[in-house]
Amino acid sequence: MRSVFRKYSPEKSGLLIFTVVIAALDSINPCAFFILLSLLSLLLHARSRKKLLVVGVIFALTSGIIYFAYMSAWLNLFLAFKGIKYVNLIAGFIALIIAFINIKEYFIFKKGPSLTIPDEAKPGIFQKMRGLLSLESLPTLIVATVLLAITVNLYELLCTLGFPMVYTKILTNLNLPLWKYYTYLVIYNAIYILPLLAIVLITAITLGRKKLSELEGRLLKLLSGYLMLSLGASLIFIPDALENLTSSIGLILIAIGLTGITYLAFPGSSRGN
């Protein structure tokens, strides 16, 4: 049993498991799901599986590349300030702020501070989406999809600000070679885009429409908030706990449990105010 409680080392699987779990939770992103499902719903009008697959896969892959660049920026920032005493505290407090905003969204949706795509940006995004329907040239379609993904992901980063910051801070608390930091970022982002690719594949096969309901979006925000709360508090008070696989998975399970308890205790909140 002692080996279960050892800290991560580059040779052990603990960090890999933690990376996969956090990336999987991060990948359940209500903003990303909303945009992708809306895009695919529009493309269904073209009744072309080829176009749907091309646009969907390029969109998902571009999203992963942008997210990787975003996480790399956090990684280099934390590496530059590695060893400075208060970096953990600052990152932890930012995580707590994000946590409370996301938890608030379950009870008071889009009132006050909100980490969502701004309503005023949506008409422009949907206009760019509709523009894809008329494109017949494959190279032009690919370029337009990449440009759309870049634009959309700049807004989506607002929805998922906390996970990349907290994960890269945990990563830089470990003494790893530079190439291993980036290896874990590649793994993280590969996991991150899997649900997006799955949605594209399922939609292409079934040609069926699916929209993210408000309840589903709020529950995802709630889960994200509780997870940020537990990780942020750990960064502030017990940062060493995040270097232990058992403790880290325990925090994740607590966040999932609190989400379920909150939904059972306050089901009316999910229907809005």
Q: Which of 23-32, 86-95, 255-264 has the lowest mean pLDDT?
A: 23-32
Read off the pTM.
0.79
pLDDT at 4 over 50: no
Domain ranges of the chain: 16-271
Angle of CA points 259, 34, 91, to nearest 5° = 55
| 69-95 as b/e: b if 16+ CB within 10 A | ebbbebbebbeeeeeeeebbeebbebb
The pLDDT tens digits of the residues spanning 155-170 come to 777 777 778 888 898 8
The pLDDT tens digits of the residues spanning 121-156 come to 788 888 888 888 777 788 888 888 898 888 888 877
The pLDDT tens digits of the residues spanning 98-110 come to 889 888 888 887 6
